[in-house]
Amino acid sequence: MDRRPIGVFDSGVGGLTVLREIMKIVPNENILYFGDTARVPYGPRDLEEVKKFVFKIVSFLYEKQVKLIVIACNTSTAAALSDLKVKFDIPVIGVIEPGARASVRVTKNKKVGVIATKGTVESKAYDNEIAKIDPSIRMYSQPAPLLVDYIENGILKGKKLKETIRNYLLPLLAENIDALILGCTHFPLVEGQIADCCGSRVDVISSAVETAKDVEEVLTGEKIAVGTNPKPERTFYETGGNSKFFEVGKMFLGEEIKEVVKINLGI
């Protein structure tokens, strides 16, 4: 039995969708969640700048003696995953590789689409990851910044949202993709609307779900699962002053967040 917590972080509250899936699959695990709400969003930022933020956050979680780090942010994964694996002596899981593997598994015509932030698209992280598995697959990527804004503001349905989704997806659907990766942790909240726009011929892949499966696999493989734990602890940290955790926690996580600890990392 390993009672050390799992550390999960994102630039803000979007990573709560990943945490929600982790809690479904490994409900007994203790969790530390960190949202860098003072610097959100990461998507438009330079990846070198994002990497500096990420190393500060992971160092903080490491000092809290976490047993596993989950980067619940596509932009952070693209910016820092490989370097984090070298620097720290605990398992580190990002959201890109699990989603990439799933898309390779389901595509039949070898045409895969990605909707994500500008930073993730420009990093070509999904392109590179999928090319490692099957270089014959063709990738089509679309940044969707407005979609992130709508979800952050609680706009999860309606004509305006539907039209925005449609405009982002049309170029990808025109390429005859048959798999679409939700390359931003916000997007699972509107997965139904995205799937409706795609139609039955496109498999929509949530990186959040696939990442949670990887977490369970690592916990089991490394023999660091907590085992029996009737009262798992969830602790939430943030850097910003105007918390959205209480406002959107239930929407993103599926349950209320009662306390968020404010900290300053000196970034």
pLDDT, tens digit, for every residue of 70-84? Answer: 999 999 999 999 999
Residues 199 and 223 in one domain: no
Active-site entry in 16, 32, 68, 73:
73
pLDDT of residue 243: 67
For the record, the structure tokens of 44 come out as 């438009």
Nearest to 245 by CA among 40, 21, 4, 23: 40
Please give the residue range of the domain that contains residue 88: 6-94+209-262
| Total domains, the chain | 2
pLDDT digits (tens, 9 = 90+) for 205-240: 998 999 999 999 999 999 999 988 889 999 999 998
Distance of alpha carbon 145 from alpha carbon 206, whole angstroms: 18
Residue 70 forms part of a structural domain: yes
Residues 170 and 81 in one domain: no
Residues 75 and 160 in one domain: no
Residue 114 forms part of a structural domain: yes
Residues 182 and 245 in one domain: no
Residues 187 and 246 in one domain: no
Q: Are 151 and 187 in contact (CB under 8 A)?
A: yes
Residues 33 and 52 in one domain: yes
pLDDT of residue 51: 96
Residue 247 forms part of a structural domain: yes
pLDDT digits (tens, 9 = 90+) for 151-163: 877 788 899 999 9
Low-confidence ranges of the chain (pLDDT < 50): none
Specify the CATH number for the domain of residue 157: 3.40.50.1860
198 in catalytic set: no
**Domain edge (last residue) among 187, 207, 227:** 207
Active-site entry in 22, 66, 100, 184:
184
The CA dihedral of 121, 125, 131, 132, to the nearest 10 degrees, is -170
Beta bridge partners of 143: 116
For the record, the structure tokens of 219 come out as 């916990």
pLDDT of residue 156: 85
C-alpha separations of 103 from 4, 77, 143, 150, 158 in Å: 32, 18, 18, 26, 28
pLDDT digits (tens, 9 = 90+) for 81-100: 999 999 999 999 999 999 99
